């Protein structure tokens, strides 16, 4: 079964840092681009970042550029999101998702990040 | 403000049909495949339609997708109360090199 499991969310103060992880199983992780998508409470989906299979191509939403860093470890079947200089508006559930062409499937269950003092 | 534009809400009676529109531009919908996602309350998004009109295995044929120019449409026939959810369209924006989603449409089955 193809599965993605996020971890690392929690409560952090404004200006703080957090590292999210996404563990993949059930497919050849190293063959796919991976993405992070977030959803603020009561809001819609917002694409955050994408990384190609070999990490050659990396893209970010303007809202996180310069603060967030996406990375992956194909040997560990894992995707990461290092989040620095966190702001209240970064509060959201963060989902990792496998990218196939221009669509995302599957999605993980999400991990909640709360930025508050 | 989402890059792709969807109506905030739609509603219809059980057994009826509903359509949800998604409008974009030449740099996103106009030159890329569109996908649709269903998000039931309290759960992660789930792929419903990919490559404009293809259904993943397990998705009933009550769900359909189409695209014309810079717009796409999700259709749902034979509405069931279990279809009540938020629906999102998505694609890739080639000029910005970013993923883009619509703001989401809340479906109510009256």
pLDDT at B95 over 90: no
CA atoms within 13 A on the CB side of A82: 6
CA atoms within 13 A on the CB side of A8: 18
Confidence class for position B97, pLDDT limits 50, 70, 90: confident
The mean pLDDT of B73-85, rounded to a whole number, is 97
Residues of chain A in contact with residue B2, where contact means CB-CB under 8 angstroms, are 44
pLDDT at B2 over 90: no
The mean pLDDT of A30-47, rounded to a whole number, is 97
Q: What percent of chain B has pLDDT over 70?
A: 100
* Contact across the interface for A102 and B102, Cβ inside 8 Å: no
CB-based contact B51:B35 (threshold 8 Å): yes
* Contact across the interface for B101 and A44, Cβ inside 8 Å: yes
- Dmax (CA) for chain B in angstroms is 41
Comparing alpha-carbon positions, the chain A residue that sits nearest to B106 is A44
pLDDT tens-digit profile of A44-94? 999 999 999 999 999 999 999 999 999 999 999 999 999 999 999 999 999
Interface test with chain B among A38, A50, A103, A107, by most B beta carbons within 10 Å: A103
pLDDT tens-digit profile of B15-65? 999 999 999 999 999 999 999 999 999 999 999 999 999 999 999 999 999
Alpha helices in A1-117 (DSSP H): none
How far is it, in rounded angstroms, from Cα A42 to Cα A56?
Answer: 34
Q: How many residues does this entry show for chain B?
A: 110
pLDDT at A36 over 90: yes
Interface test with chain A among B1, B45, B105, by most A beta carbons within 10 Å: B45
* Contact across the interface for B103 and A44, Cβ inside 8 Å: yes
pLDDT at A3 over 90: yes
Mean pLDDT of chain B: 96
pLDDT at B96 over 90: no
Confidence class for position B1, pLDDT limits 50, 70, 90: confident
* Contact across the interface for A45 and B88, Cβ inside 8 Å: yes
CB-based contact A74:A30 (threshold 8 Å): yes
Facing residue for B99 by CB, picked from A47, A106, A109 = A47
CB-based contact B19:B105 (threshold 8 Å): no
Q: According to the model, what pLDDT value does residue B59 have? A: 97
């Amino acid at each position: 079964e193809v599965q993605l499991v996020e971890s690392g969310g929690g409560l952090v103060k404004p200006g703080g840092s957090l590292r999210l992880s996404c563990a993949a199983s059930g497919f050849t992780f190293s063959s796919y681009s991976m993405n992070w998508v977030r959803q603020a409470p009561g809001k819609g989906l917002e694409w955050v970042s994408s990384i190609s299979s070999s990490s050659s191509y990396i893209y970010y939403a303007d809202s996180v550029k310069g603060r967030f860093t996406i990375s992956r470890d194909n040997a560990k079947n894992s995707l990461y999101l290092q989040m620095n200089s966190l702001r209240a508006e970064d509060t959201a559930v963060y989902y990792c998702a496998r990218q196939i062409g221009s669509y995302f499937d599957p999605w993980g269950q999400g991990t909640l990040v709360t930025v508050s003092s | 403000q989402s890059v792709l534009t969807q109506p905030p809400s739609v509603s219809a009676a059980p057994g009826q049909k509903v359509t949800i529109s998604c409008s974009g531009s030449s740099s996103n919908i106009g030159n890329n495949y569109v996908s649709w996602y269903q998000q039931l309350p309290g759960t992660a998004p789930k792929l419903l339609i990919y490559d404009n009109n293809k259904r993943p295995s397990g998705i009933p044929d009550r769900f359909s997708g189409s695209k014309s120019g810079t717009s796409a449409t999700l259709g749902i026939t034979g509405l069931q109360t279990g279809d009540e959810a938020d629906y999102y369209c998505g694609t890739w924006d080639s000029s910005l090199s970013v993923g883009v989603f619509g703001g989401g449409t809340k479906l109510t089955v009256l």
